[in-house]
Structure 1
Amino acid sequence: MRGSLRLLSNWTKIGLLLLILIVAGCNTLKKVGEDELLLTKNSIYVDEEKVTDSDIRSLIYQKPNSNVLGYPLRLNLYNLAKENPDSSFQDWLHRKEKREKRLNNFLSKKQVNRLQESFVVKGASDFLKRIGEAPVVIDTALSQKSVNRLEAYYRSKGYFNNSGSYDIVEGKRKKRAELDYKLNLGKPFIIDTVQKNITSPELDSVYDASSDLTLVKKGDQFDLANFNLERERLTTLFRNSGVYNFQESSISYDILRDTTQLADDQLMDVKLNIKKFRSATDSSDVNSPYRIHRLKKINIYADYLIGGGTDSLKSMEYDNYTIFYKDKLRYNPKALTDAIFFQKDSIYRDLDRIRTYRQITNLNTFKYPNIEFIPDTTQAQLISNIYLAPRPKFSLNLNFDVTHSNIQQVGTAFSTSVITRNVFGGAETLNISARGSIGLLSDAAAFSDEPFTSELGGDVNITFPRIWFPFNTEKIIPYYMLPQSRLSAGTNFQQNVGLDKQSLNSVLSYNWSPTIQLKHNVELLNVEFVRNTNQGNFYNVYRNSYRSLDNIADAFEEDPQFADFFEEVDNEDDPFRLSIPDGANGFVEAVLNNQVPLDEEERSEVNRIEERRQRLTENNLIFASNYTFFKNSRVDINDNNFYQFRVKLEGAGNLLSLLSNVVPYNKNDRDQLLVFSVPFSQYLKTEVDFIRHWDVDDSKVIAFRTFLGLAVPYGNSDNIPFVRSYFGGGSNDNRAWNAYELGPGKTDNLNDFNEANLKLAMNVEYRFPIAGDVKGAFFADAGNIWNVFDDEDNPDAIFNGFSSLADIALGTGIGLRYDFTYFVFRLDTGFKTYDPSKEGSNRWFSGYNLKSAVFNIGINYPF
Structure 2
Amino acid sequence: MKINFLKIIIIFFLIIFFGSCSITKNLDPNDYVLEKNKLTVNGKLIQSDSLSRLIVQEQSKKFFGIPIQSMIYQSAKKNSDSIFSLWEQNKNKRKGLKQFLSEKQFLQLKNYYKNWNEWKFKNGKPIALIDSLKINQSLNNFKSYFQNIGYLENIVEFKLLKNNLKEKYATVDYIIKTGPQYYMGDVSLITNSKIIDSIFNNDIKKSFLKKNGVFKTMNFQKERDRINSLMKNNGIYNFQINSIFFDVEIDSTREVYSLPVKIIVEGDNYKKHNIKEINFINVKNSKEYIEKSFLTNQIEFRENEPFNDSLRSKTIQNLNNLDLFSFPSIGYEYLSESDHELSANIFLNPKKKYGLGFGFDLKQSDIEDIGISFENRFKSRNIFKNGENLELSAVGSIGKSNDVTISQVYFDATLRLPKFIFFESLNKRFGSDIQSFVSIGSTNQKNIGLDRTSFRFNLNYAWEKKNNFFNFSLSDVELINNRNINNYFNIYSNSYHQLNQIAQNNTSDPKYFLDDNLSIPTGINSFINDVLNGSLSTIEQNDVQRIQYIENRRNRLTSNNLIIGSTFTVSNNYDNRYDKGDFKQWRFKLKTAGNLTSLFIKKNLDGYRRISDLKFSQFIKTEFSYIKHWNISDNSQFAFRYFSGIAIPFGNSDNIPFSESFFGGGSNDNRAWQVYRLGPGSSGGSNEFNEANFKLALNFEYRFNILGRFNGALFSDFGNIWNVLDDNKDKRRTLESFKDLSEIAIGSGFGLRYDSNLFIFRLDMGLKTYNPAELKNRRWFKDFTLKKAVFNIGLNYPF
Compute the TM-score of the two structures, normalised by the length of structure 1. Answer: 0.87
- Give the aligned partner of residue 293 of structure 1: 273
Partner of 2:59, secondary structure, is coil
Deviations 1:310-336 (A, max 9, x none): xxxxxxxxxxxxxxx65x454532101
Shift of residue 782, structure 1, vs aligned partner: 1.6
Alignment map for 1:52-63 (pairs within 5 Å): 54-63=49-58
Alignment map for 1:281-320 (pairs within 5 Å): 289-301=269-281, 303-305=282-284
- Give the aligned partner of residue 357 of structure 1: 316
Partner of 1:797, secondary structure, is coil
> 1:297 touches 1:384 (CA, 8 Å); kept in 2?
yes
Which of these residues, 136, 140, 159, is aligned with residue 148 of structure 1? 140
Alignment map for 1:616-655 (pairs within 5 Å): 616-634=557-575, 637-655=578-596
Number of paired residues? 785
Partner of 2:263, secondary structure, is strand
Shift of residue 379, structure 1, vs aligned partner: 2.5
Shift of residue 786, structure 1, vs aligned partner: 0.7
Alignment map for 1:75-474 (pairs within 5 Å): 75-94=70-89, 96=90, 116=110, 118-120=111-113, 122-171=114-163, 172-257=165-250, 261-276=252-267, 289-301=269-281, 303-305=282-284, 326=286, 328=287, 330-376=289-335, 378-442=338-402, 451-474=404-427
Shift of residue 535, structure 1, vs aligned partner: 1.1
- Give the aligned partner of residue 447 of structure 1: none
Whether 1:586 and 2:526 are equivalent positions in the alignment is yes
- Give the aligned partner of residue 556 of structure 1: 506
Which of these residues, 32, 41, 44, is aligned with residue 36 of structure 2? 41
- In structure 2, relative to structure 1, the CA distance for the partners of 1:509 and 1:183 (3 Å cut) is same
- Give the aligned partner of residue 832 of structure 1: 768
Whole-angstrom CA distance in 2 between matches of 1:493 and 1:540: 20
Q: CA RMSD in A?
A: 2.5
Alignment map for 1:713-732 (pairs within 5 Å): 713-732=649-668
Whole-angstrom CA distance in 1 between matches of 2:66 and 2:777: 34
Which is worse superposed, 677-686 or 466-475? 466-475
Which is worse superposed, 771-780 or 834-843? 834-843
Partner of 2:684, secondary structure, is coil
Whether 1:566 and 2:513 are equivalent positions in the alignment is yes
- In structure 2, relative to structure 1, the CA distance for the partners of 1:467 and 1:71 (3 Å cut) is farther
Whether 1:603 and 2:544 are equivalent positions in the alignment is yes
Shift of residue 414, structure 1, vs aligned partner: 1.3
- In structure 2, relative to structure 1, the CA distance for the partners of 1:423 and 1:69 (3 Å cut) is farther
Whole-angstrom CA distance in 1 between matches of 2:577 and 2:302: 32
Which of these residues, 451, 455, 466, is aligned with residue 504 of structure 1? 455
Shift of residue 740, structure 1, vs aligned partner: 1.0
Whole-angstrom CA distance in 1 between matches of 2:100 and 2:511: 77
Unaligned runs of 5+ residues in structure 2 are: 1-7
Residue type matched to 1:134 in 2?
A: P
Shift of residue 719, structure 1, vs aligned partner: 0.3
Residue type matched to 1:304 in 2?
A: V
Residue type matched to 1:429 in 2?
A: N
Partner of 2:502, secondary structure, is helix
Alignment map for 1:487-502 (pairs within 5 Å): 487-502=438-453
Shift of residue 62, structure 1, vs aligned partner: 0.9
> 1:530 touches 1:620 (CA, 8 Å); kept in 2?
yes
Residue type matched to 1:265 in 2?
A: V
- In structure 2, relative to structure 1, the CA distance for the partners of 1:206 and 1:607 (3 Å cut) is same
- In structure 2, relative to structure 1, the CA distance for the partners of 1:100 and 1:498 (3 Å cut) is closer
Deviations 1:136-166 (A, max 9, x none): 1112232122112211211122222111111
Whole-angstrom CA distance in 2 between matches of 1:167 and 1:611: 76
Whole-angstrom CA distance in 2 between matches of 1:156 and 1:727: 52
- Give the aligned partner of residue 771 of structure 1: 707
Shift of residue 620, structure 1, vs aligned partner: 0.7
> 1:665 touches 1:675 (CA, 8 Å); kept in 2?
no
- In structure 2, relative to structure 1, the CA distance for the partners of 1:110 and 1:708 (3 Å cut) is closer
Whole-angstrom CA distance in 1 between matches of 2:253 and 2:156: 18
Partner of 1:168, secondary structure, is strand
Whether 1:852 and 2:793 are equivalent positions in the alignment is no
Whole-angstrom CA distance in 2 between matches of 1:748 and 1:97: 67
Alignment map for 1:661-740 (pairs within 5 Å): 664=602, 666-667=604-605, 669=606, 671-740=607-676
Residue type matched to 2:480 in 1?
A: V
Residue type matched to 1:488 in 2?
A: S
> 1:169 touches 1:180 (CA, 8 Å); kept in 2?
yes
Deviations 1:95-150 (A, max 9, x none): x456569989997889867754x232x22122112111111111223212211221
- In structure 2, relative to structure 1, the CA distance for the partners of 1:331 and 1:548 (3 Å cut) is farther
Residue type matched to 1:232 in 2?
A: D
Partner of 1:206, secondary structure, is helix
> 1:27 touches 1:79 (CA, 8 Å); kept in 2?
no
> 1:275 touches 1:289 (CA, 8 Å); kept in 2?
no
Which of these residues, 669, 684, 690, is aligned with residue 748 of structure 1? 684
Partner of 1:58, secondary structure, is helix
Whether 1:525 and 2:505 are equivalent positions in the alignment is no
Partner of 1:726, secondary structure, is coil
- Give the aligned partner of residue 74 of structure 1: 69
> 1:641 touches 1:693 (CA, 8 Å); kept in 2?
yes
Unaligned runs of 5+ residues in structure 1 are: 1-15, 277-287, 306-324, 443-449, 569-575
> 2:378 touches 2:392 (CA, 8 Å); kept in 1?
yes
Residue type matched to 2:589 in 1?
A: K
- In structure 2, relative to structure 1, the CA distance for the partners of 1:489 and 1:20 (3 Å cut) is farther
> 1:817 touches 1:826 (CA, 8 Å); kept in 2?
yes
Shift of residue 189, structure 1, vs aligned partner: 2.3
Deviations 1:256-290 (A, max 9, x none): 236xx4432223222211123xxxxxxxxxxx733
Whether 1:30 and 2:25 are equivalent positions in the alignment is no
Residue type matched to 1:625 in 2?
A: S
- In structure 2, relative to structure 1, the CA distance for the partners of 1:146 and 1:609 (3 Å cut) is same
Deviations 1:398-453 (A, max 9, x none): 111111011000011112111111111111011111122211115xxxxxxx6111
Q: Percent identity?
A: 36
Whether 1:534 and 2:484 are equivalent positions in the alignment is yes
